[in-house]
Amino acid sequence: MTASRDPDALIRRAGRPDPEFDQHFLVDDRVLDRIPTYAEAFDCSHVLEVGAGTGALTDRLLAVAGHVTAVERDADYAEFLREEFADEIAAGDLTVLQGDALDVDLPEFSCSVSNLPYGVSSEVTFRLLPEGEPLVLMYQLEFAERMAAEPGTSDYGRLSVAAQHYADVELVETVPAEAFDPQPRVQSAVVRLTPRAPDYEVGDEAFFLDFVKALFTQRRKTTRNAIRNTAHISGLSDADAVVDAVDESVLDQRPGNLDPATFAALANVALGIERGGGR
C-alpha cells in the first residue's frame, strides 16, 4: 500500500492556508487516518469531499473509495489538487471541482466524507442531507453537539430537529484545535449521519422546517405562546385556530422539550388549517 501524503508537506507545496478565509486544514495523521473508517459501513463507490484544501483527506479517501469528487472553492488550491493528484485524475479515480459547494452542480454520490469550512457548515449540511446519502462531516464541536442533542437538553434546538429529521446523528470523535493548521479557536468533532426515514409523516417538509425554526425563536415560552408569537415567521394566518386544535399537554410545554415527532404533528395541524382543513 502506498504511504499517505504528509499533510504538512502538502501545505508547504500548496501555500499557507488563510484563517480569514475559513481555511483550517487537518494535519494530524492519526485523525486523518481514522476519518475514512467512520464510513466503512457505507457505500464508498463515489465519495464526495467538500472543502478539499491541499488534499490530505482526499489522499486517504482515494485509498478506500472507488471514485472521489473533491470540491474546493479556492482556485489556487483547486489547481494545486489537479497538479498534485494528476496521476489519480488521469486514472479516473479523482475529479476536482473548483467552486462554492453551495453553488456548483454536485454529482451523484454514494456518501460524503468532508472537513467542512465551518462558516458554511450548516448550509452545506442541509444541501447534502436531503440527498439521502450517508455523511461523515467535521464541524465545530458546539455545532456537532447541537446536531446530536436530545429533547429537554440545553443544546437541543431547531438544528437538532432538522438534522434528526433526515438521519441518525452520532458524534464519533472530538478533535482538538492542535490537529489543524492554522489552529481554530474551538474544538472540532466528527459527526456520522446515517440517513433514514423519520417515524412520522410531514405534510410539507419546507413548512415543517420553517415551523420548527419559528417556534425555537421563542424557546423559553410555552408552545402555546410560541405559536401565537411567531405567526409572522411561520406564515400562519390564524395562529389561534392552531392553538385551539392542539392538546393542552403539548401547548403547556416549551419547544425545547418537544421531540421531532411532536413538532411534525403540530406542523401538520397548522398546515391543515392553513389549507382549509378547519379547526
pLDDT digit string (tens) for 154-174? 999 999 999 999 999 999 999
Specify the pLDDT at position 251: 98
**What mean pLDDT is reported for the chain?**
95
- Residue 61 C-alpha cell reads as 479517501
Inform me whether the pLDDT recorded for 2 exceeds 90: no
The verdict on whether residue 53 carries a ligand-binding annotation is: no
100 labeled binding residue: yes
Instruction: Give the tens place of pLDDT for each residue, 223-266.
Output: 999 999 999 999 999 999 999 999 999 999 999 999 999 999 99
Confidence band for 45, pLDDT divided at 50, 70 and 90: very high
At what angle are helices 158-166 and 141-148 packed, to 10 degrees?
70
CB 52 within 8 A of CB 58: yes
Whether 6 shows a pLDDT value over 90: the answer reads: yes
- Cis status of the peptide bond prior to 176, with omega within 30 of 0: no
Task: Specify whether the CB–CB gap between 55 and 63 falls below 8 A.
Answer: no
Q: What is the mean pLDDT of residues 10-35?
A: 91
- pLDDT at position 179: 98
| Mean pLDDT of the region 41-62 | 98
Among 225, 253, 254, 250, CA closest to 240? 225
Whether residue 107 is predicted with pLDDT greater than 70 in this model: the reply is yes
- SS3 (DSSP) at 113: strand
Angle at 121 between CA 115 and CA 123, to 5 degrees: 140
Q: What is the pTM of this model?
A: 0.94
Q: pLDDT value at position 164? A: 97
Other residues' Cβ atoms within 10 Å of the Cβ of residue 17: 19
With beta carbons less than 8 A apart as the criterion, state whether 116 and 128 touch.
no
pLDDT at 277: 55
Residue 124 to residue 47: CA distance in whole angstroms: 15
pLDDT at 184 over 60: yes
C-alpha cell, 211 = 415551523
Alpha-helix runs per DSSP H in the chain? 7-14, 29-34, 56-62, 75-84, 86-90, 121-128, 141-148, 158-166, 205-216, 223-229, 231-234, 239-244, 248-251, 260-274
The whole-number average pLDDT for the span 208-224 is 97
Instruction: Enter the C-alpha cell of residue 92.
Output: 479516473
Residue 279: pLDDT over 50? no
Q: Is 257 within any annotated ligand binding site?
A: no
Share of the chain above pLDDT 90, in %: 93
Q: Is the pLDDT reported for residue 135 higher than 80?
A: yes
In angstroms, rounded to a whole number, what is the distance separating the alpha carbons of residues 24 and 67?
A: 25
Q: Which domains does the chain have, with CATH numbers?
A: 7-195 (3.40.50.150), 205-274 (1.10.8)
232 is in an annotated binding site: no
Asked if pLDDT for residue 182 goes beyond 60, the answer is: yes
Q: What percent of the chain has pLDDT over 70?
A: 98
Model confidence at 278: pLDDT above 50: no
- Could you say which DSSP state residue 104 is in? S
